[in-house]
Amino acid sequence: MVSATNAVLSTPSTASAPHAHVQLISGWRRVVLWPFGLLVRLWVGSLRIEVTAADMRNFTKCDEPVAMVLWHNRLFLSAMIFRRFRRGKPTYALVSASRDGAWLDAFFSLIGLHTVRGSSHRLGREAASALVEVLKQGHDVGITPDGPKGPIYGFKPGALIVTRRTRTPILLIGADFKSAWRLRRSWDWFYLPKPFSRVRMSCELVPAEALADRNAAAASLQARLVAMNPDREYQTGT
């Protein structure tokens, strides 16, 4: 993660400290990603999203900054969540400072998401400070509590550092795929919903007051996220 001043955070896509060693994708490599970004927008746009009125109210809560929390293997839906539910409100996601993270950073920039670069292993304290500044400026943040390397469906208490420091409410996001491919060679068995398939989306609002005890809150949120994101294939090992 990276430290950032207000000047750095106002940059169009990525918040990072000028001295931090953060891998970037530029030139022809970024150009190659553009058709992929277009494909993803079309792909996500074809999905038939099902959501209740109560969940929709939580998804579209825009009166204050929020932290959207979802499992790493649901990241394919980030573009849809950002465009359909958050009405294009500036959203920052934490992305690894590594070269793998550089590709994700470039991809996010194509679909309109901003990033803060870092991880729990590299530049962590500085990135937490950057995310705090993002929230103070009135923007949303996205957190994958089991990322970037797992274990799958493990809620790391450190994911709550930023929300507890800023007293920010959390939106827990769930997705139940009716038909999807799984990338079994990835540590999280990443989901790719099939085009034109149905996805049942859910969203729970967790007020800042419920996060006072970090470890207890992490255990509670993990259980709630698991319930909101059925994964019968992974649970049975089929």
Cis peptide before 145 (omega within 30 of 0): no
**Is residue 235 situated within a structural domain?**
no
User: Would you state the pLDDT for residue 67?
Assistant: 97
More confident residue, 96 or 180: 180
**CATH code of the domain containing 98:** 3.40.1130.10
Segment 191-228, tens digit of pLDDT: 999 999 999 999 999 999 999 999 999 999 999 999 99
Chain mean position to CA 87 = 16
Give the model's pLDDT for residue 155.
96
* Res 5: pLDDT: 23
Task: Give the pLDDT confidence score for residue 97 in this predicted structure.
Answer: 76
Q: How many domains does the chain have?
A: 1
Residue 211 in domain: yes
In a domain, 69, yes or no: yes
Q: pLDDT class for 9, splitting at 50, 70, 90?
A: very low
Q: Give the pLDDT of residue 89.
A: 87
Confidence at 11, pLDDT banded by 50, 70, 90:
very low
Q: Cα separations (Å) of 143 from 72, 115, 202?
A: 9, 11, 16
Q: What is the mean pLDDT of the chain?
A: 85
Q: What is the pLDDT of residues 155-168, one digit of tens each?
A: 999 889 999 999 99
User: Taking the model in full, what pTM does it have?
Assistant: 0.84
| Cβ-based neighbours of 156, under 8 Å, separated by 6 or more | 120, 145, 146, 218
User: What radius of gyration, in Å, describes the C-alpha atoms of the chain?
Assistant: 17
Domain with 158 in it: 6-17+24-230
- Summarize the confidence of residues 102-118 as an average pLDDT: 83
Average pLDDT over residues 70-90: 90
What pLDDT does 208 receive? 96
Query: 58-74 pLDDT, tens per residue?
Result: 999 999 999 999 999 99
Alpha carbon 209 to its chain centroid, in Å, reads: 22
Query: Please, how many CA atoms are within 13 Å of residue 183, restricted to the half-sphere of its CB?
Result: 12
Q: What is the pLDDT of residue 215?
A: 93
User: Which residues have a Cβ under 8 Å from the Cβ of 203 and sit 6 or more positions away?
Assistant: 51, 55, 56, 58, 59, 85, 171, 172, 173, 174
CA 165/CA 160 separation, integer angstroms: 8
Task: Please work out, in degrees rounded to the nearest 5, the angle formed at the alpha carbon of residue 97 by the alpha carbons of 217 and 103.
Answer: 105
Using H for helix, E for strand and C for coil, what is the string for the chain?
Answer: CCCCCHHHHCCCCEECCCCCCCCCCCCHHHHHHHHHHHHHHHHHHHCEEECCHHHHHHHCCCCCCCEEECCHHHHHHHHHHHHHHCCCCCEEEEECCCHHHHHHHHHHHHHCCEEEECCCCCCHHHHHHHHHHHHHCCCEEEECCCCCCCCCCCCCHHHHHHHHHHCCCEEEEEEEECCEEEECCCCCCEEEECCCCEEEEEEEEECHHHHCCHHHHHHHHHHHHHHHCCCHHHHHCC
**Structural domain includes residue 112:** yes
Instruction: Let me know if residue 1 belongs to a domain.
Output: no
- Asked if residue 182 is part of any domain, the answer here is yes
CA distance 195 to 178: 11
In a domain, 237, yes or no: no
